[in-house]
Structure 1
């Protein structure tokens, strides 16, 4: 069962790595190694990251726990990150967030307001830099407390599983100026509605998370086709 400890662990994970070698590895997995079905070992990780064997084991464990390394046919391999998988994750996020908001409306009293005010200010701060990863992490730091606030271990556990750090890195790699503006607008609408005790107004933008992603992908495909 998911607990408050799991929530705080998930929240703490929403950050870039302080180790530049691990941060570099995260992006290499997303941009270069995605879908490669080579067997991944701590030794391979240490070689790629130019670290010793002990560092390789620690980095391997961290990358695996965050979704950058997966198990396929009883072997560890690099994660496979596609637009289709991203859309499925975002559809799940949209559904889970909507379910949490419906539950929040029924409960009528949830201890989330102070945290959301702080998180919204943080989103406003990072949005000025237009860094996709910073914006994606700030948005998740808004959504995760909303899920946790309704005291549903099932919702929280599923949300944590759907939003592992590897997904967020892959998602953030699609944050151009237009998409960033859309997602920031959605997050702000949800927060404003909750803070004004108008939960119904938050449900519509929550449902637009997946639709927004689909619309942007269609637009990008149209541009690519010329």
Structure 2
């Protein structure tokens, strides 16, 4: 079936099959967070992006292949409520952005920053540090050699705007980083997967960048 990225809490996960990776998107409650399981098609190694909630659901999606690592996109509690339980069940390593790691309520095994890479079997996720929603928020780029780029943005970029900020300076930092590190570097066909809600492409959102900056949120 065609991947849409439209998922609901308690509903069926949506699966996207690429040449090298299988991406499974699932929504977990109570804040309808998105979690993503990435599976290498060559080695079956798996990485989870954001153990947000509903540990039983996430462990079911992970299945018998196990879990090599859990990457937390940022420090906010709704993105790591299930982290301890998932790690206890799978033995996965924990990874987070350097500036946010100490604020996450589970020990972090490895911190990452801009330009670092996280393996998923034979594939790699490139870390993009985006400052504003939190000091250590990260996005994760899979630059598919067989197709379009795929970007997991946490709460830094959504269809319709950048993530929530709590000061003008934080907003300027975030919109500057998103414009410079994401839109200026990646093509329109880049598909992005946010921390809540539906997916989009950079091409769909690019015409609105000036409007976002002008409105200040």
What TM-score comes out, normalization by structure 2 length? 0.26
Q: Which structure has the greater CA radius of gyration?
A: 1
What TM-score comes out, normalization by structure 1 length? 0.26
Higher relative contact order (CA 8 A, sep 6+): 1
Q: Which has the higher helix share?
A: 1
Q: Which has the higher strand share?
A: 2
